[in-house]
Structures are given as C-alpha cells and as structure tokens.
C-alpha cells in the first residue's frame, strides 16, 4: 500500500503532495523535508529504494522533478517504480507535453489524474486511456 | 434613472472588489516571492481575503477560493478554516464544486474531528446519484478517508455498487470495499458473495481491484484464505491469458501486457499457496512459464520476475523451480542496475536460511557487493555475508568482512563487529586465528565496538595458555603505535600486558621490550586527555600488576600510582590511594595479591545463544537479582542462561556429557569475592576443607567490580545457590564445623552477616541427614519473598573436602531435588534426593 506521493523540485521545495493515509498537517512538513533531503542526497546511479522508518521510499527523477512514493515494506519496489513511470506517462498524455510548468500550475489536475489511478493507496487502473477518459469527458462538458 | 445608478454601483463595486485571482496566478505570485517573508506576506494577504469571502457566503467563487486554500495548505500554512467550506462545496449540485469539495475533504479533514461525520450524508446522496462520475467521486473519497463509523454507515451502499453494471463504478467500489474492510474487519462477510464475480471480468481495472480485495481478505482472515483456495485455477487461467495474448495497446507497458495485473495475481497466488502443497502444485507450471518467458531486459519484466521469485520461495514448490528462482536472483545480482541488485540481495537474505547451499554459489558476487558505492547495497550485502558464513569459508569471508569493517560507516560498525565476533566464535578454525580476528575487529571498529567484544577478547586470551605470549606481543605492537582515541583496543592491550607482562619482557613474545618503554606508554595513556576514565582504570590496575612482574621500574610505578591519589575522579583517586597502600603498608601482600589470574569461566558473546551455560560473575548485578527471583517464582525462566546443565540433569534432563560447556564441576562452594585472588585461595581452602580452622570472615562483595572480576573455582553450584538460597554467613569455628553455603547475596553489600538462624514463625526442617552430612533449612517469609537459610554440618568426624551442593526447583508445587557430592577421607560420595517436606506455611 502506498502512503503518499510527493513531487519536489531540484532545490528541495515541495511542489505537489498527495496523501493516501491521513497524517496530521503539522507533521507533514518535517516528514516531507526529511524524505526529500534523503532522496536528493542519493547519487545519479545509486539505488532508488531507501528506507525511512517502516516505509520504503521509491524515488525517480523526471527531468527537473523528483517523484517520491512511500510504501510498505511488503510492496514490490520495482512495480512502484514502474507505476511512477505510468503516472508520468498519463500526465504526458493528458497535458500533451508534460513539463515542470504543468506541475506548478495545474495541481488540481494532478490530483484528479492520480485519483483516477490510485485510490486509498492501491492501484486501481493500469491503463492510461481508461484512467484519462472520465477526466477528458468532464473537461469537454464543463468547457461547453 | 435608478437602473443607471444600479449599473454604476455595480461597476464601482467590481472595480473595488475584483474577482478573486485564479489559482495559477496565486501560484505565480508565491513563486515570484524572493524571500520567505515576502511569501508569507502574499499568503497571509490571500488567506485574509479568502476568509472574508467565506464569511460573506459567496457561492460563486467558493470553488476557486478553496482550490487556492488547498495549495496554501500544501505549502504548510494552516487552513482549517476551510473545512466547512469544503462541506458546502460538496453539497453543491455543480460537479466542479463537488470535485474541489471532495478533494478538500480528503486533504484537510481529520477523521478525529466531528466535521468528518457531516460528510456522511452527502456521500450517501452522491453514492445514489445518477451520474457515474459523481458516484465515482464519492467512492474515491470514501476509499480515502473512511472512518469506522462512516464505513459502517455506508457499507451497504458500497456493496450495492459492487454489483453495478458499470465497470467504472465496480472498479472503484472494489477498492472502497477494501478500505472499509481494513477499517472494520467485521464487515468482510458482506462482500464475500460479490467478490466471486469480480474475477470473471474482462475489464482489467476491475480485475486488479478485485484481486487486491481478495488478497486483503485472505491476509486478514484464515477462513477466507481457505475459502478462496478454490479460485487458484481461475487465477492461473487469467495469468496464462495475459502472457499468451498478443499485443493489446491499452495495457501494454514496454512490451509486456499489463504487468501490474500480473504482479497482483502473482502476489495472491503466493498467499494462497503458502503452506498448501495442493494449491502449490497447481501453480507450479504457470510460475515456471512466467519465470522463463518474461523478458528481463526491461524493468517491468524484472518486476514480474521479482514477484515470481518471491512466490516460488514462499510456496511449497518443487526443487527444480527453486533452483530456477535462485538462478534468477543470481542474474539479478550481476545486473548493472542498482535497484535490481538491491532487490536481489533483499530476497536472497530471506531465502538464505532455507536454501543455504544454493545461495553459496553466488558468494563471490555478494562479496563484491560489499565494496559497492551504494549504501543500501552494502548494508544488505553485509547481512547476507554473515548469513553465509560456515566452517569452510570462514577465512576468506572474514578477511573481506574485516576490510569492510574498516571502511564502514559508524552505524554499521557496531553491528558488524558484534556479528564478526559471533561468527568467529562459532567457526574459528584454531585459537590463534580466533585471537587474531578478535584483535583485528577491535582495531578496525575503533570506538564503535559493543562492550561485550572487549570482555570476550579478554576472556579468550585468558583461557588459552598457549597463545598468551603471542597475543601480548601483538597487543604491544598495536599499543605502541596506537591512537589514544580508540578505547577498546587500549583497554584490551593494557589488561593483557598487565596480566602477562612477564611474558613480554622475557622475550617469549618475539618482541624486545625494555621496562622503561612500558612505563612510558603507560604514562602516556594515563595522562592522555583522549583516554576515557574506564581506560585509565584499566591502565592503572594493569600498571599495578606490572609492579609484581617488573624488576627495575617499581619506583616509577609507585610514583605514578601515588600521583593518582589526588585525581579529580573519585574512582581513580580511590584506586590510586588503595594501590599506594599496597606499596607501603601492605607491601608483603603485594606479590601474591597481584599474581596471574586463573582463566575465566562462563559465557562469551557467541556461546550464549547456542549452549545453555551459566553466566559468570562478570555480568551485572542484575543477574544476581534475577537469580534470586528464581526462588520466589520458579516458573521464571527469564534468565535462561542461569540454568546449567547440571540443573537439567537433576530435573531428569540431558546427560552432562552432552554439552561441552559445563565449566568446572569444581569442588568448592564458592564465594564471591573481590579481585584478590590469593586471599580467595586461602578462604576457599578453608571452606573447601571444611576444616575446623581459624575462622575468617568472608567478605561477600559485589559481584561486579570494575571489569573484569573473576570467580576462582566457581562452580555450578554457586549460581544455583545464588538463585535458590539467599544467605551469607561466615564460617564459625566449632568442632563439627558447620559450614554455611555462602552465596552471592544482595550484591551491594560488603558486610558480613553474622550467623543467625532467625526465629521465624515458620518451622525449619532437616532436609537431609545421611552419611554424616546434615542439611538444615530455616525459612523466612517476607510478603512474597521466601528466604531459605541452609546450614550443612559435617558429623562424620573426618575431613570432608570438595563438598558440592546442587539443587533444582521444578515449577510448582514447592519441592526441591538435590544432589550432593563430597570427598570423605579421599573417597568420593554422591547422593541425590528430593526434599518435599517444606512446611505448608510457605506457600500461603
């Protein structure tokens, strides 16, 4: 089960966070800071799986953005690594050409796409097309 | 006229209060803030504006404002005032409002607050809505924030939706059901009938969530697990179709069709097959097929292979399949990708205990990983190496591990060094190698050595007579070039040099040392600011011992020692003064006092776990307390090591010969004394002989002085006695020389208790009276603590030596099995018996 997903910039600022299990807002900031520092400290070709307490951290760089997922120890780490790739692929398809700017300015869309794919920490939809269809439908309806 | 006025007013209003800025503009503003203070100013201004609009109940822009609030909340600013607004948004009929409202509810609301419950009604309405997207939204939110109360309320709705005809809804309902079950496990049965149909889906989304739901059910309840065993053939079929089917564009990832579903199914198969040979047999083929057909050049392929390997290792698979799995792991180890290597090491760690020989084949690769640049890999490789050590490869492995230890990070050093010591203990080919290794560990680990390593090393050296010269020579070499900051090394070295200094000086140790060099080094240690107090304590004591070994430099030793008489630290001062006394007033005692110590007995770090031995007095006073407790709660096995084999023997257990760790079944009833060996010897002779010799007060002292104390001629009896009897009495000379068994008593006392058979309300008993030996017991009861005083008397009129009393108390009721042995006039006598005539007053 995944616990949270963060997107951070190269300088360590948090740009997007989605929590699948509830953590009090006051304790979110130190957790995020600690986790981001750990992941930023890893080298280019080092192992992308780190440990943080009883969660495993899986992180991946996509351009200038660092995506971090915290999951239980029982999860298949490589699978979550691939899931990050799937998520970014979905965003790519949705926005046309996904870049850091989109992360900054379209946070609500990021939440929605993520919610279509993962609910309560478990993967729900593995097909990008199926995940994006509802959102695209709603976009066309609301823009009319 | 009035309408024109109206229009003008409106326009003025609009200019004065423009529309709230959009989210992306706010983000731009915040990001363009150059300092933190500027950012805070922007955020505070916007928060104030938002609060104002919330108060004015403006429903038009509420959605936008809440979206901004969520962003502000993500940055870490407080946003609790938006919670009610989220509720209002949820209740709104517009879909965009609902969307933001539910998102806000997910991110802002805490299930511990009452606001949470207010959503339940909205959720219920939305779950029954006609639009699938609204339903999906509600299901999503419920899946994310379900509290136990909410789950109970809405479980029925979710179950209904699980049977809906819309795949989109079914998919989300399944995950919602999953979360509900996690929060309220009792509701599991409700969802059981619906799950049956989930597996016969075409839609992969529903399949994934269905499999996850079933996995969770099986994980939580063994009954469910048994129930779902029959779906194994279905799962196998689905997996087969996935692999065999051709390219499907919507589920393809890097050439593999729906790897996520494959991994989920493999996980479920693992849970279903674990421990069940029938189910495992059904899976064998498909697992073999997946393992061989999946392409390992892509990452997704590796993910599937990883899951397959985990499954194969957990179920009762046939041996060929297991070999295949280990080979896959071996291939992973050679992969250039660090992630894969990490995963392989992790898995090997889990299987090494089951399939040790198979993993041994990859030993050289694992040793290579010890030198990897990545810290996660190094850590896993280290743990795996320790698991792979056996008698054959100990030398090569230890060499690599010592190199690793030298360069390791501090957090590794402690665990690595103690594991090295354990491994050396178990598998060392000979003693010299063992000593060498321990010395290298102490040297390489610097200051991060756990405490038991120092005492283990010292114990080992003191035990092996033959290697002492070699050891002390090595230690001298290290000490003369040592850095003063690594305490354990210095402690071991000074102890050994103090003990065996004569070997060093006489040339047995292959080094030429002059006495003045020795003194110089000691002075360096004792005056160094980097050495800890404990190290200086070691050094001072060992310097004193040297005064009995050296010939020329005694004067300078005396000077050094007396200088410490005015040290600021109490312990060192005390030692300084007391040792100085040994030079002046008690000079005659100095020689015999500082003689070589007899070898230690008892456990070392490694032997504790494997062999049930008794603990030495080296351990803390706590041991004594717990042994004392054994009397009152005979069931208390907390201190397992205090049960010796002799105890088990008494209880009808194993042969004494089984364990080779029974240290001396020696003769005398021991005492616990301070580190004055020669004084001990006299007293023990006294006791051991049961002579009617001059009485000497027996100092019973704390078992744990500065380390290491020793227990000369300690016997198993002592510890049994420690546990079971609680008295300490001196010898009193009298014709029949009653001798009391002393024991390590309340350890802090240094005083001597006069022999008092206290008048207590509980009558004493004569426990044993045969062959001229008589055992009398007197009892005292203080609340729940029973104290037994035992007096053993020799009525034979002849000398009795080597008297040994052993007792064991099985659980309840209170009775005692005893074993006695002694030498009467040189001929051994032995006896066993049981004491069951304890007064019943004892166990009220």
Listed by number, the residues of chain B in 343-382 with a beta carbon closer than 8 Å to a beta carbon of chain A are: 343, 373-377
CA angle in degrees (0–180, nearest 5) for B541-B546-B551 = 155
- What is the C-alpha to C-alpha distance for residues B198 and B209, in angstroms, rounded to an integer? 9
Counting residues of chain A whose pLDDT is more than 90, the rounded percentage is 30
pLDDT at residue B549, as a whole number: 82
When pLDDT is averaged across residues A1-18 and rounded to a whole number, the result is 90
- What is the C-alpha to C-alpha distance for residues B393 and B765, in angstroms, rounded to an integer? 59
When pLDDT is averaged across residues B298-310 and rounded to a whole number, the result is 91
Output the CA–CA distances (angstroms, integers) from residue B288 to A67, B225, B321, B357, B585, in the order listed.
34, 24, 7, 21, 84
C-beta separation of B386 from B423 below 8 A:
yes
When pLDDT is averaged across residues B204-211 and rounded to a whole number, the result is 90
Tell me what the pLDDT averaged over chain B comes to: 76
pLDDT at residue B673, as a whole number: 33
Task: Give me the helices (H) in B221-276, please.
Answer: 222-228, 232-244, 259-273
Q: How far is A105 from chain B (nearest CA, A)?
A: 5
pTM of the model: 0.65
Q: Which of A7, A117, A135, A111 has its CA nearest to residue A62?
A: A7
- Interface contact flag, A134 B133, Cβ < 8 Å: yes
When pLDDT is averaged across residues A122-129 and rounded to a whole number, the result is 89
Confidence of residue B454 (pLDDT cuts 50, 70, 90): confident
- Residues A35-60 pLDDT 10s: 999 888 887 778 888 888 889 999 99
Spatial strand order in the sheet of B816-824: B800-808, B816-824, B827-835
Q: Which long-range contacts (CB under 8 A, 24 or more apart) does A17-21 make?
A: A17/B74, A18/A110, A18/A111, A18/A114, A18/B107, A19/B107, A20/A118, A20/A120, A20/A121, A20/B144, A21/A121
- The three-state secondary structure class of B289 is helix
- What is the C-alpha to C-alpha distance for residues B292 and B254, in angstroms, rounded to an integer? 18
- Interface contact flag, A82 B259, Cβ < 8 Å: yes
pLDDT at residue B750, as a whole number: 37
C-beta separation of B144 from B119 below 8 A:
no
- Interface contact flag, B260 A122, Cβ < 8 Å: no
pLDDT at residue B617, as a whole number: 34
Altogether, the residues listed in chain A come to a count of: 144
Confidence of residue A7 (pLDDT cuts 50, 70, 90): very high
Confidence of residue B523 (pLDDT cuts 50, 70, 90): confident
- What is the C-alpha to C-alpha distance for residues B368 and B402, in angstroms, rounded to an integer? 14
Q: Which residues contact B24 (CB under 8 A, 6 or more apart)?
A: A105, A106
pLDDT of B554 > 60? The answer is: yes
Is A130 an interface residue toward B (CB < 8 Å)? Answer: yes
- Residues B229-260 pLDDT 10s: 888 888 899 888 888 887 777 788 888 888 99
pLDDT of A70 > 90? The answer is: yes
Is B76 an interface residue toward A (CB < 8 Å)? Answer: yes
pLDDT of B635 > 80? The answer is: no
Residue B44: CA atoms inside 13 Å, Cβ hemisphere, count? 6
Q: Using the 8-state DSSP alphabet, how is residue A36 labeled?
A: H
pLDDT of B743 > 50? The answer is: no
pLDDT at residue B492, as a whole number: 87
Element (H, E) at A135: helix A128-143
When pLDDT is averaged across residues B358-368 and rounded to a whole number, the result is 86
H and E: helices and strands count for chain A: 5, 7
- Residues B386-415 pLDDT 10s: 888 888 888 888 888 888 988 888 878 888
Q: Which of B331, B216, B334 has its CA nearest to residue B268?
A: B216
Q: Which residues contact B44 (CB under 8 A, 6 or more apart)?
A: none
Of B110, B299, B303, the CB nearest to A24: B110
- Taken in order of first residue, the domains within chain A and their CATH numbers are 2-142 (3.30.450.60)
Element (H, E) at B777: strand B773-782
pLDDT of B721 > 80? The answer is: no
Confidence of residue B718 (pLDDT cuts 50, 70, 90): very low
Provide, as residue numbers in chain B, all residues whose Cβ is less than 8 Å from the Cβ of A46.
338, 373-376
Confidence of residue A85 (pLDDT cuts 50, 70, 90): very high
Q: Which of A41-45, B58-62, B427-431 has the highest mean pLDDT?
A: B427-431
Provide, as residue numbers in chain A, all residues whose Cβ is less than 8 Å from the Cβ of B204.
125-127
Q: At what angle do helices B468-481 and B451-463 cross, to 10 degrees?
A: 140
pLDDT at residue B844, as a whole number: 55
Is A88 an interface residue toward B (CB < 8 Å)? Answer: no
Q: Which residues contact B458 (CB under 8 A, 6 or more apart)?
A: B492, B495, B496, B600, B708
- Residues B575-608 pLDDT 10s: 899 888 888 888 888 888 888 887 777 655 444 4
pLDDT at residue B603, as a whole number: 56
Q: Which residues contact A76 (CB under 8 A, 6 or more apart)?
A: B263, B267, B303, B306, B307, B310
- Residues B337-353 pLDDT 10s: 888 998 899 888 888 88
Peptide bond into B813 cis (omega under 30): yes
Test mutation, A43, A76, A138, chain B, max B CBs within 10 A: A76
Confidence of residue B699 (pLDDT cuts 50, 70, 90): very low
pLDDT at residue B14, as a whole number: 59
Confidence of residue B811 (pLDDT cuts 50, 70, 90): low
Q: How far is A67 from chain B (nearest CA, A)?
A: 16
pLDDT at residue B18, as a whole number: 65
- Residues B637-654 pLDDT 10s: 333 334 444 444 444 433
Confidence of residue A144 (pLDDT cuts 50, 70, 90): low
pLDDT at residue B769, as a whole number: 82
Q: Using the 8-state DSSP alphabet, how is residue B713 labeled?
A: T
pLDDT at residue A6, as a whole number: 93
Beta bridge partners of B823: B801, B828
- What is the C-alpha to C-alpha distance for residues B759 and B709, in angstroms, rounded to an integer? 36
- Interface contact flag, A120 B144, Cβ < 8 Å: yes
Beta bridge partners of A50: A57
- Residues A25-35 pLDDT 10s: 788 889 999 99
When pLDDT is averaged across residues B455-472 and rounded to a whole number, the result is 84
- Interface contact flag, A49 B31, Cβ < 8 Å: no
When pLDDT is averaged across residues B198-215 and rounded to a whole number, the result is 88
Q: Which of B536, B748, B730 has its CA nearest to residue B628?
A: B748
pLDDT at residue B720, as a whole number: 40
E-state strands within chain A = 2-8, 14-19, 49-52, 55-62, 65-71, 118-119, 122-123
Burial of residue B48 (CB within 10 Å: 0-12, 13-18, 19+) is: exposed
When pLDDT is averaged across residues B730-757 and rounded to a whole number, the result is 37
Complex ipTM: 0.92
Q: Which of B293, B298, B319, B607 has its CA nearest to residue B308?
A: B293
CA torsion, ordered B154, B108, B181, B167, to nearest 10 deg: 70
Beta bridge partners of B636: none
Higher pLDDT pick, B567 / B485: B567
Element (H, E) at B624: helix B621-632
Of A14, A76, A127, the CB nearest to B250: A127
């Amino acid at each position: 089960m995944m616990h949270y997903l963060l997107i951070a910039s190269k300088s360590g600022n948090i740009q997007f966070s989605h929590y699948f299990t509830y953590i009090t807002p006051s304790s979110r900031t130190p957790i995020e800071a600690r986790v981001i520092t750990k992941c930023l400290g890893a080298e280019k070709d080092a192992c992308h799986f780190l440990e943080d307490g009883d969660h495993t951290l899986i992180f991946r760089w996509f351009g200038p953005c660092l995506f971090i997922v915290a999951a239980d120890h029982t999860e298949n780490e490589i699978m979550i690594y691939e899931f990050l790739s799937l998520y970014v692929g979905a965003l790519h398809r949705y926005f046309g050409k996904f870049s850091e700017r989109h992360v900054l300015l379209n946070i609500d869309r990021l939440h929605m796409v993520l919610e279509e794919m993962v609910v309560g920490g478990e993967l729900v939809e593995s097909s990008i097309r199926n995940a994006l269809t509802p959102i695209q439908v709603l976009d066309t309806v609301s823009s009319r | 006229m009035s309408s024109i006025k109206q229009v003008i007013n409106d326009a003025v209003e609009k200019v004065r209060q423009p529309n709230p800025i959009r989210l992306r503009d706010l983000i731009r503003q915040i990001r363009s803030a150059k300092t933190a203070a500027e950012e805070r100013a922007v955020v505070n201004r916007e928060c104030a504006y938002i609060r104002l609009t919330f108060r004015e109940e403006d429903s038009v822009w509420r959605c936008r404002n809440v979206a901004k609030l969520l962003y502000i909340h993500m940055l870490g600013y407080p946003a609790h005032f938006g919670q009610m607004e989220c509720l209002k948004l949820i209740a709104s009929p517009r879909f965009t409002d609902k969307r933001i409202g539910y998102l806000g509810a997910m991110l802002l609301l805490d299930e511990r607050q009452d606001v949470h419950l207010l959503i339940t009604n909205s959720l219920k309405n939305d779950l029954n809505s006609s639009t699938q997207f609204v339903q999906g939204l509600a299901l999503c939110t419920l899946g994310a924030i379900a509290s136990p109360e909410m789950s109970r309320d809405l479980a029925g709705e979710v179950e209904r939706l699980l049977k809906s005809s819309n795949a989109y809804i079914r998919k989300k309902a399944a995950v919602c059901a999953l979360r509900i079950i996690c929060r309220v496990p009792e509701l599991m049965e409700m969802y059981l009938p619906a799950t049956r149909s989930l597996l016969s889906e075409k839609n992969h989304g529903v399949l994934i969530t269905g499999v996850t739901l079933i996995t969770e059910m099986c994980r939580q309840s063994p009954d469910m697990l048994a129930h779902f065993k029959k779906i194994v053939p279905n799962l196998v079929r689905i997996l087969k179709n996935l692999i065999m089917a051709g390219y499907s564009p919507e589920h393809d990832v890097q050439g593999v069709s729906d790897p996520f579903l494959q991994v989920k199914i493999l996980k479920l198969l693992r849970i279903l097959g674990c421990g069940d040979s029938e189910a495992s047999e059904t899976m064998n083929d498909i697992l073999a097929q997946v393992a061989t057909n999946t392409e390992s050049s892509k990452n997704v392929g590796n993910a599937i292979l990883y899951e397959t390997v985990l499954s194969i290792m957990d179920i009762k698979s046939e041996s060929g399949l297991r070999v295949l799995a280990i080979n896959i792991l071996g291939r992973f180890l050679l992969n250039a990708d660090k992630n894969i290597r990490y995963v392989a090491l992790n898995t090997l760690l889990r299987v090494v205990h089951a399939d040790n020989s198979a993993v041994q084949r990859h030993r050289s690769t694992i040793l290579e990983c010890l030198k990897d640049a990545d810290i996660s890999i190094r850590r896993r490789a280290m743990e795996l190496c320790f698991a792979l050590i056996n008698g054959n490869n100990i030398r090569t492995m230890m060499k690599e591990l010592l190199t690793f230890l030298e360069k390791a990070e501090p957090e590794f050093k402690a665990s690595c060094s103690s594991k090295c010591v354990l491994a050396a203990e178990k598998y060392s080919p000979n003693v010299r190698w063992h000593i060498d290794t321990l010395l290298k560990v102490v040297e390489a680990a610097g200051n991060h050595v756990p405490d038991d390593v120092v005492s283990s090393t010292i114990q080992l050296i003191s035990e092996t007579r033959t290697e002492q010269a070699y050891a002390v020579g090595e230690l001298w070499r290290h000490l003369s070039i040592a850095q003063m900051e690594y305490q354990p090394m210095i402690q071991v070295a000074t102890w050994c040099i103090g003990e065996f200094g004569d070997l060093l000086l006489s040339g047995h140790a292959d080094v030429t040392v002059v006495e003045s060099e020795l003194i110089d080094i000691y002075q360096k240690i004792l005056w160094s600011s980097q050495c800890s107090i404990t190290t200086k304590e070691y050094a001072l004591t060992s310097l004193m011992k040297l005064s009995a070994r050296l010939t020329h430099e005694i004067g300078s030793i005396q000077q050094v020692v007396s200088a410490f008489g005015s040290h600021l630290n109490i312990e060192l001062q005390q030692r300084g003064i007391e040792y100085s006394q040994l030079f002046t007033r008690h000079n005659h005692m100095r020689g015999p006092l500082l003689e070589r110590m007899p070898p230690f007995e008892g456990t070392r770090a490694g032997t504790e776990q494997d062999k049930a031995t008794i603990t030495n007095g080296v351990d803390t006073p706590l041991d004594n307390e717990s042994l004392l407790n054994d009397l009152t709660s005979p069931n208390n096995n907390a201190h397992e090591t205090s049960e010796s084999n002799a105890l088990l023997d008494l209880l009808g257990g194993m042969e004494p010969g089984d364990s080779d760790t029974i240290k001396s079944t020696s003769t005398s009833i021991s005492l616990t004394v301070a580190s004055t060996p020669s004084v001990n010897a006299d007293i023990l002779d006294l006791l051991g002989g049961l002579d009617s010799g001059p009485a000497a007060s027996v100092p019973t002292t704390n078992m744990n002085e500065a380390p290491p104390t020793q227990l000369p001629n300690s016997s198993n009896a002592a510890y049994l006695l420690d546990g079971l009897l609680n008295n300490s009495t001196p010898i009193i000379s009298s014709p029949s020389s009653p001798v009391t068994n002393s024991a390590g008593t309340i350890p802090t006392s240094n005083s001597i208790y006069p022999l008092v058979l206290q008048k207590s309300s509980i009558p004493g008993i004569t426990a044993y009276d045969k062959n001229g030996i008589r055992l009398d017991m007197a009892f005292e009861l203080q609340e729940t603590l029973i104290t037994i005083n035992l007096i053993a008397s020799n009525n034979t009129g002849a000398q009795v030596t080597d008297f040994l009393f052993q007792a064991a108390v099985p659980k309840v009721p209170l009775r005692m099995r005893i074993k006695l042995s002694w030498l009467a006039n040189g001929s051994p006598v032995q006896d066993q018996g049981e004491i069951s005539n304890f007064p019943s007053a004892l166990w009220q």
